[in-house]
Chains A and B, each alone.
Chain A
Amino acid sequence: MNQRDQWQTWMQAAQQGDQLAYAKLLKDVCPYLRNYLRPRLSQQDMVEDVVQEVLLAIHTARHTWNPEEPLMPWLHGIIRYKLADGLRSIYRKNQNEVVDTDMLVTLSVAVPNKDAEGTNMDMDTMLATLTPRQRDIVRMTKLEGHTAEETGQKLGMSSSAVKVALHRILQTLKDQFGPRT
């Protein structure tokens, strides 16, 4: 029995509630997913995220697979859908980098420049407008240099949630304190 037939058999068993077969299938699929996704994603740190998204999607959509049909087109439908989501998130993130950079420049100028006191907004004043949790996210990621994953671990959030929250916070600060156009 080749690998694909084996997966098909495991998936049929998984649909009937066989947890062992299901775990074997998901474990066996992971290296295939990583190999498939690596050349298609420019940011390698996203590969594992997309692999996990695909695994979750397989779980959610497992009732949509018809056992009379081959498994691979169904699996590739899910991979393609989640890959597109991952790429969209990368593009969004890249667009957001511009916003982040602007904000970092604003922050770094605002802190040490004593001469500009009164004209530049003090960072503490800006951070004071945030909730304690938002302050923690900005402090840990932008001032202390922690990664989103580390921040997420400390604050009990997923890395994606940290990234989304950070983007929103920076956008809010930019709207409030950024240069008016």
Chain B
Amino acid sequence: MKNTPTDSLIAALAANAKPVTPATSIALMWLTGLGIALAGSLVVVAGMGFRIDIQHQLAQPGFLLTITLLVASACTWGWATARLAAPRWPLANDVLASMAAGALAWGFMMVPDMLASDSHSLMETATDVSTHTCAMIVTFMTFPTTLVFLAAFRHAMPSSPRMMMAAATASGASFSMLAITMLCARNDAAHIVVGHIIPALLLTLAAVLVGRHYLRW
């Protein structure tokens, strides 16, 4: 680099300055990512078959609240991904707020199950879905949904690549948890924590590690 004096570099860069279209379509990219990931998740659920008690659950406020929290977390993590796709420091308040909202939504996800009056009776009617099967489904569904987000932001130049990768993975994992909530009839807290939440958390943490290499520019 030092061979080229900075002034020559500036002259070369200025000579190559063609008009560019400023990236103002963050919301559009965000909606595209969300739409494709949601559609993909629903296709997987429809293909594998909804949980046996889906009719009953759809009438339960707790179940609906869980679904709402998962959709909200997918949206907020997705928004954080969209905003992190361009360089910026310090992070904008809406990025911090959306990440905090996504984390809170994950944190509160267990509350409806704990409060639900028929949790224990549902445990008895649990299907033969084992915890590790759910963990595998969450893991393998998170990859394509995360890739959808990353594809939507394929021209991203994040100044915090680890954070962007984690946000994209958390959004993908939220869709996976949404799908598994529609698939798996087991409502016991231990199963949900070990089979649904921990795999999503581990994948998000793994994304922090690989983010810098994957999103390098």
Contact = CB atoms under 8 A, between A and B. Distances in A.
Given A22-B13, A22-B17, A81 B87 contact: yes
Given A14-B17, A19-B15, A60-B217, A52 B9 contact: yes
Contact of B13 (A16, A26, A75, A76): A26
A115 B67 CA distance: 80
Pick from B15, B22, B217 the residue with the most CB of A within 10 Å: B22
Contact of B87 (A18, A20, A78, A149): A78
Contacts of A60: 157, 217
Interface of B is mostly: loop
Interface of A is mostly: helix
Contacts, number: 117
B22 A26 contact: no
A59 B1 contact: no
Interface residues of A, number: 45
A63 B20 contact: yes
Given A19-B15, A59-B17, A76-B88, 9 more contacts: A14-B17, A19-B14, A23-B14, A26-B14, A27-B7, A52-B4, A55-B13, A77-B87, A80-B159
Closest 5 CB pairs of A and B: A77-B87, A77-B159, A17-B19, A23-B14, A64-B86
Interface of A: 14-20, 22-23, 26-27, 30, 48-49, 51-53, 55-57, 59-68, 73-81, 149, 152-153, 158-160
8 contacts: A17-B20, A19-B15, A48-B6, A49-B1, A55-B10, A59-B17, A67-B22, A74-B87
